[in-house]
Structure 1
Amino acid sequence: MTSIDRGPAATRHGTDFAELSRVIRQHGLLDRRRRSYFVKFAVNAALLAAGWAAFAVLGSSWWQIATAAFLALVHTQLAFIGHDAGHKQIFISKRANDVIGHLHASLIGMSYGWWLGKHNRHHANPNHEDEDPDIQISVLAFTGEQAAAKRGVVRWLTRYQAVLFFPLLTLEGLGLHLAGVKAVWRRQVRAFWLEGALLVAHAAGYLAAVFWVLPPLHALVFIAVHQGLWGVYMGCSFAPNHKGMPTVPAGQRLDFLRKQVLTSRNVRGGRVVDFLLGGLNYQIEHHLFPNMPRANLRHAQPLVQQFCVRNGIAYSQTSALGSYRQVLSHLHAIGAPLRRTKGK
């Protein structure tokens, strides 16, 4: 992950983005797509019901591991809807979007208010070395300065972070749950009473269902597989978007268009990848137009790419495997100096 050099093009003001915005609006790509979202609501509800119905029917069986894996996929799809609601992609009304966001967050045991605040800070300054919370992760380093500052066990993890990346993602789900609980407990979210009640209701319902149907050992394995795979899926959906892309050094400022495009990476793959990554594979378009409905992102992509090419703005796009290769290569390179000095 290299830092962005502030060249002559980066000093230009917002006229480029204004021009691109006009093109996007002329194509109607910021119009709501409520029918598309209602279909997603129905499909997700059917999948969630099918998953828990299968859980109840199977009972005390090791086949529940397959149910846990299936529900990890469903929970991530629910998280994608919560993400879209947070960006007001679904409805024009903020209140209506927040209702959907709180509902979907409660189904997966997350604090909607905590996540939204963190995610908005990321969108405001993606890959900014001081201001993006998504690259301030205690057990990973994305710049040489971050790696050098690690100490103790975390320093050892950073040395081998490329190898440990996917295993560490199994803890991502637990981290999301705990961060939400901590934010609510400290009253760092506006609707902390509502969010607290939703988190308690989720935990009580989830644990009661699992331990009612399964004996203790089966229940613990089910929870570990479900939450672990959910964390991996969530991490694999968000990691390709910015990790390994250039960072913005402290004190440096770019115009909005370049700040969003130069730090983001798209993932090719068609409708299958669109579904699996919840539209986040169009990360450049999403960052430029956060409230654009998910179904419109694929139509905006060629317009944005053509605009960037005409204006000499680097536009990064690769395959799904290529994106993970870039992420892991970057993590390996950042950990290299620590591996060379581990005996000193």
Structure 2
Amino acid sequence: MPPESGTSLGKPELASGAPQFFTWEEIGLRTGKGEFKEERWLVIRRKIYDISQFHLRHPGGTRVISHYAGQDATDAFTAFHKDEDLVEKYLSPLLIGELAPDQPSCEPTKNAMLVNDFHELRTTVKRMGLLQPCFLFFGFMFLHAFLLDTASWLTIWYFGVSWVPFLVGVALFTVAQIQYGFLQHDLGHLSVFQKAKWNRPFHFIVMGILCSSTHELMVYMLFSLCMKGGPPSQWNYMHNQHHAKPNCFRKDPDLNMHPFLFSLGKALSVELGKKKKKYMPYQHQHIYFALLAPLTFVLYVQFAVLRFAFQRKKWREFAFMMLYNVRVCLMYIPLMGFKSFMAYYWLARFLESSWFLWISQMNHIPMNINYDQNLDWVSAQLAATCNVDQSLFNDWYTGHLNFQIEHHLFPTMPRHNYWKVTPLVKSLCAKHGIEYQCKPLLTAFADILHSLKKSGEHWQDAYLHA
């Protein structure tokens, strides 16, 4: 006879060390809303953890863990935490029970066979060493970006600020910044260094751990000064949510432009239209996307990073941001004057934002966008992402984000290994009848506009006729 499940409204207590058992139905009620609004539970490998208070001090951010309240977080936990022994000290005090023996390992609504096959795939991936980074690869990626950055300054220093060297310098600076951005993305996902002592300066991007030793501080300063000049903890706060719940409205921060600038996805567009909401002429959003999206992104990022640093008192990160801007000003203002430098800098930022937005959104905007459907890890990632054809140019131009499916399934995998795991992922999808989308680069760009146009039409039809 199976043990009785817990029924207490408060936090269950483990009697005499004996585990207390619960059902998926009971766990599903603890989402921080409704009848049990003060409680948040989640499941990791059949063990149940009470995060009702812990989510407020979760090193990876309060929202990313809260998004799994009332759900199975096993695959998300495995995907985000490279060193599980390190986080065990956080989990142990939160343990309140286990799934009852008659309960399935994953929620009844999920595809258990797919979940099990993915776990086997992840074991295979680890055994093949595909989670091991190649330092030479990342060293080369940094070096080529650094040389482009240097070349942009040398162009202005040697040729002056006439139109041709000005535009060449802007182009070089833009390419360097976007490649730095791709490398920063790698560091944020803990995929550059294998050893913890080198990952630690960037590990806090995901885990909230601050660097302490001198060599770690030097590494962090190097990338802060040379790369983007933005707060890593904000990247952690936003990007982890995107990976946890991609294309899930109110859980994926990448959808924050809906509905204020763009209407995204059929379901959300119809809902917006029925509510008679019109912040923008969404029927024309495919036309104004190319200009308004990067312009808004530039201004939003500059404002958001400062606001985030001040609100959360990230004074060290704020100091590095200021050092970055001082470094750039000292490099260029003596050569071209303040006005020319402002034109140089903001033009490069606009071009960089355009590049980044087209690359990042080609894999997501054309895919399913809706509220959280609580899908299993594989189904959720495949529904929200697609790939772009592999080539040397595409790999470089997109920072290997043309392998978005593999990146979302294995966030800590070094990008130089994506192509190796692709056949295994395709085989998994074929076995379970899941569509694996891969398209040419220009088609992916065009699909952004086609998707925006269709979403605008859905909004307009619901707005006028609902």
Partner of 2:236: 116
Query: SS of 2:401's equivalent?
Result: coil
Contact in 2 for aligned 1:85/1:101 (Cα 8 Å)? no
1:169: Cα distance to partner?
Answer: 3.6
Aligned partners of 1:269 and 1:82: how far apart in 2?
22
| Cα 1:11–1:101 shift into 2, 3 Å | farther
1:176: Cα distance to partner?
Answer: 2.1
| Aligned with 2:252 (options 98, 123, 132) | 132
Give 1:135-150 correspondences, 5 Å limit: 135-137=255-257, 138-144=260-266, 145=268, 147-148=272-273
- 1:295 aligned onto 2:416: yes
- 1:16 aligned onto 2:117: yes
| Deviating more after overlay: 316-325 vs 75-84 | 316-325
| Cα 1:105–1:244 shift into 2, 3 Å | farther
Amino acid at match of 2:285: Q
Contact in 1 for aligned 2:388/2:440 (Cα 8 Å)? yes
State, as a whole percentage, how many aligned pairs show the same letter. 26
| Aligned with 2:308 (options 183, 189, 206) | 183
| Deviating more after overlay: 211-220 vs 50-59 | 211-220
| Aligned with 2:359 (options 237, 240, 262) | 237
Aligned length: 331
1:317: Cα distance to partner?
Answer: 0.9
**Structure 2 residue runs without a partner (length 5+):** 1-107, 204-215
TM-score relative to the length of structure 2: 0.66
Partner of 1:76: 178
| Aligned with 2:145 (options 12, 22, 44) | 44
Aligned partners of 2:308 and 2:159: how far apart in 1?
36
**Structure 1 residue runs without a partner (length 5+):** 1-7
Partner of 2:288: 164
Aligned partners of 2:305 and 2:157: how far apart in 1?
28
Partner of 2:444: 323
| Cα 1:255–1:102 shift into 2, 3 Å | farther
Cα deviation 1:262-299 (Å, max 9, x = unaligned) = 21110103111001100111011011111111110111
1:208: Cα distance to partner?
Answer: 4.3
| Cα 1:10–1:321 shift into 2, 3 Å | farther
Aligned partners of 1:150 and 1:216: how far apart in 2?
47
Amino acid at match of 2:176: V
Greater radius of gyration (CA): 2
| Aligned with 1:201 (options 320, 323, 342) | 323
Aligned partners of 2:367 and 2:220: how far apart in 1?
29
Amino acid at match of 2:299: L
| Cα 1:97–1:216 shift into 2, 3 Å | closer
Cα deviation 1:299-319 (Å, max 9, x = unaligned) = 111221122112212111111
| Cα 1:12–1:80 shift into 2, 3 Å | same
Amino acid at match of 1:322: T
1:10: Cα distance to partner?
Answer: 4.3
Aligned partners of 1:162 and 1:309: how far apart in 2?
33
Cα deviation 1:194-223 (Å, max 9, x = unaligned) = 110011122233234443322454333312
TM-score relative to the length of structure 1: 0.87
| Aligned with 1:271 (options 370, 374, 392) | 392
- 1:104 aligned onto 2:229: no
1:143: Cα distance to partner?
Answer: 3.0
Partner of 1:3: none
Aligned partners of 1:311 and 1:253: how far apart in 2?
18
| Cα 1:219–1:151 shift into 2, 3 Å | farther
Aligned partners of 2:463 and 2:167: how far apart in 1?
39
Relative contact order (C-alpha < 8 Å, sep 6+): which is higher?
A: 1
Partner of 2:168: 66
Aligned partners of 1:342 and 1:207: how far apart in 2?
49
Contact in 2 for aligned 1:72/1:233 (Cα 8 Å)? no
Aligned partners of 1:301 and 1:341: how far apart in 2?
40
Amino acid at match of 1:177: Q
| Cα 1:206–1:18 shift into 2, 3 Å | same
| Aligned with 2:192 (options 81, 90, 98) | 90
| Cα 1:248–1:339 shift into 2, 3 Å | closer
